[in-house]
């Protein structure tokens, strides 16, 4: 039997679920609470409705409480997708007299409309069919069906998910972390920077893949970055930064002149050097780029008069990469993989700089590991 056909057959088998028992209980309880609150509040707010809880809300609950990170489960897709689909279904019921034609037409047009308005929500297809096949009570409601109960149900269940998911430590709405949106917010670069992937790279890869993925772009990058981090920890689990660092630290003081800093960097062929205070605590780094930036502003790098000479503290950058000496070696790669950092300062438990690790040091460790594996 061809391997491709066997692989195709495997697609019919149940896929593994990574959800823990705790997560399954959390999601199940959330769906129960969310549906109960939606039914209760909808009945209280609109007691005259014959259908105060529509069946597609059960499908919406699965998305909202089981996969709250899904792009299909965010507030706009739920409320917008369900309401829009209801309007499409009602229109098809009025314009196409035969339900056998109106129902499939409502489903496909609802999907097209949700794509167009970026509110794709799978239960929306069921809402569109409900508007056509829901019977006398739904048809008697007319256009009001899209507002009561569809929009009301959707708003209430999203509100319940908003409270429940955040109380149970699940981000909802699932916006990117602050550090993902702003890679300069922390010393650790964002996943995209660590992986060396640009937004254009990701867009091109997704366009080539073609299918709609039920995972956000930021989550996809975070998963890839996590996998890489775990692989590095597996390779370097027993090694720490202290083993790799250079203890001979060529450092600058904040009051050193830029002329002295330039001479030191050129003499030792360094891209950057740490700036330390009197207790060897890290204040920042001064790089060749910082010196060029100062020169571009018209600052003289050769000024020697004590009162007029520009100082290191005025040119250094404080976006420094720092790790504890006991930190695992695997944590170095994402830092040194970021174009902003040429060196990582290694500190003691007291915060004093005891060494530095450069890209060449990390490359040597990776080569050593490769040789050990090959042997």
Domain 241-374 CATH class label: alpha beta
Least Cα distance to 164 among 21, 35, 328, 308 occurs for 35
Helix, strand, coil shares, percent, the chain, to 5 = 60, 10, 35
Contact residues for 316 (Cβ-Cβ < 8 A; gap 6+): 252, 254, 275, 283, 284, 285, 286, 290
Judge whether 89 and 110 are in contact, CB under 8 Å: yes
Please report how many Cα atoms fall inside a 13 Å half-sphere around the Cα of residue 129, on the Cβ side.
12
Contacts 24+ apart (CB under 8 A), 222-230: 222/180, 222/191, 224/191, 224/195, 225/191, 225/194, 225/195, 225/334, 228/194, 228/195, 229/330, 229/334
Low-confidence ranges of the chain (pLDDT < 50): 177-187
CB distance 344 to 322 below 8 Å? yes
Structural contact between residues 270 and 262, judged by C-beta atoms closer than 8 angstroms: no
Pairing of strands 282-287, 272-276: antiparallel
The pLDDT assigned to 122 comes to 96
What span, in angstroms and rounded, lies between the C-alpha atoms of 89 and 143? 10
Q: State the pLDDT at residue 232.
A: 65
Task: Please tell me whether residue 103 adopts helix, strand or coil conformation.
Answer: helix
Task: Give the closest residue to 276 by CA, choosing from 307, 338, 320.
Answer: 320
Q: How far apart are CA 74 and CA 57, in angstroms?
A: 14
Q: What is the pLDDT of residue 146?
A: 96
Domain layout of the chain by residue ranges: 18-167, 178-235, 241-374
DSSP E strands in 136-183: the ranges are none
What is the structure's pLDDT at 200?
A: 74
Rounded-to-integer distance, Cα 347 and Cα 280, Å: 9
pLDDT for the residue 265: 92
Q: What is the pLDDT of residue 179?
A: 43
The CA distance from 144 to 151, in Å, is 10
pLDDT the model gives residue 181: 46
Closest among 123, 116, 48 to 83, alpha carbons compared: 123
């Amino acid at each position: 039997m061809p391997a491709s056909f066997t692989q195709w057959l495997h697609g019919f088998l149940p896929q593994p679920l990574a959800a823990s028992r705790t997560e399954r209980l959390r999601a199940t309880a959330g769906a129960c609470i969310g549906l109960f609150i939606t039914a209760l509040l909808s009945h209280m707010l609109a007691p005259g409705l014959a259908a105060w809880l529509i069946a597609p809300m059960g499908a919406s609950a699965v998305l909202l409480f089981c996969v709250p990170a899904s792009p299909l489960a965010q507030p706009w897709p739920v409320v917008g997708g369900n309401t829009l689909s209801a309007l499409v279904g009602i229109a098809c019921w009025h314009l196409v007299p035969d339900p056998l034609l109106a129902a499939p037409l409502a489903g496909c047009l609802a999907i097209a409309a949700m794509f167009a308005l970026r509110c794709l929500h799978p239960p929306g297809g069921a809402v569109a069919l409900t508007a056509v096949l829901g019977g006398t009570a739904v048809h008697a409601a007319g256009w009001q069906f899209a507002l009561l109960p569809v929009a009301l149900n959707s708003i209430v269940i999203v509100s319940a998910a908003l409270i429940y998911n955040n109380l149970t430590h699940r981000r909802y709405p699932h916006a990117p972390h602050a550090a993902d949106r702003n890679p300069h917010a922390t010393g650790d670069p964002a996943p995209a920077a660590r992986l060396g992937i640009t937004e254009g790279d990701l867009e091109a890869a997704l366009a080539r893949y073609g299918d709609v993925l039920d995972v956000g772009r930021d989550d996809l990058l975070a998963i890839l970055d996590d996998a890489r981090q775990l692989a590095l920890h597996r390779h370097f689990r027993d090694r720490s930064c202290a083993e790799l660092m250079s203890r001979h630290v060529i450092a600058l003081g904040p009051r050193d002149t830029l002329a002295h800093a330039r001479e030191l960097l050129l003499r030792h062929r360094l891209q950057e050097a740490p700036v330390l205070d009197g207790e060897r605590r890290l204040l920042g780094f001064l790089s060749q780029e910082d010196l060029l930036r100062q020169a571009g502003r018209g600052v003289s790098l050769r000024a020697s008069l004590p009162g007029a000479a520009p100082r290191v503290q005025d040119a250094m950058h404080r976006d420094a990469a720092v790790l504890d000496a006991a930190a695992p070696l695997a944590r170095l790669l994402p830092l040194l993989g970021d174009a902003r950092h040429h060196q990582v300062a290694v500190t003691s438990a007291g915060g004093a700089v005891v060494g530095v690790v450069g890209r060449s040091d990390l490359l040597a460790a990776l080569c050593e590991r490769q040789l050990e594996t090959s042997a």
